[in-house]
Amino acid sequence: MKNTAAFMTPFPLPDSTLERIVRPHLKSLDLGEGLHPEKSLAQAGLDESGSVDLLVQLEEELGLRIPDSVIDADSLATLNGLRRLLERLEVG
């Protein structure tokens, strides 16, 4: 049987939406400081606890489920990594 699952993530997700969700989890980023898509989120203050909170918030705000099996180190390294993670998700 052919897999006809559709992507459910609201893409293209505007950079401003993704940054709005991510920014509160970045403890080292100043309020007015920009967040480059390839800036290290860890250097901006995203720690392990913040990563878990961020994933939960993404699931709630975007109405999706992020299985542990699709999360890798690159997924939470940068905004672009996070965007690639979200783009891989399919409706189950």
pLDDT tens digits for range 53-70 = 999 999 999 888 999 999
Residue 74: DSSP 8-state: G
Asked whether the bond before 12 is cis by omega within 30 degrees of 0, the reply is: yes
Measured at the CA of 84, the angle between CA 69 and CA 20, to 5 degrees, comes to 105
Distance between CA atoms of residues 17 and 14, nearest Å: 5
pLDDT at 29: 84
Measured at the CA of 37, the angle between CA 36 and CA 43, to 5 degrees, comes to 65
Domain that holds residue 61: 17-26+37-88
Q: Is residue 81 in some structural domain?
A: yes
Q: Is residue 41 in some structural domain?
A: yes
Chunked in runs of 10, what are the mean pLDDT values of the chain (92 residues)? 42 82 91 87 95 95 90 93 86 41
Crossing angle of helices 48-62/15-22, nearest 10°?
Answer: 130
Q: Is residue 64 in some structural domain?
A: yes
pLDDT at 34: 83
pLDDT at 3: 36
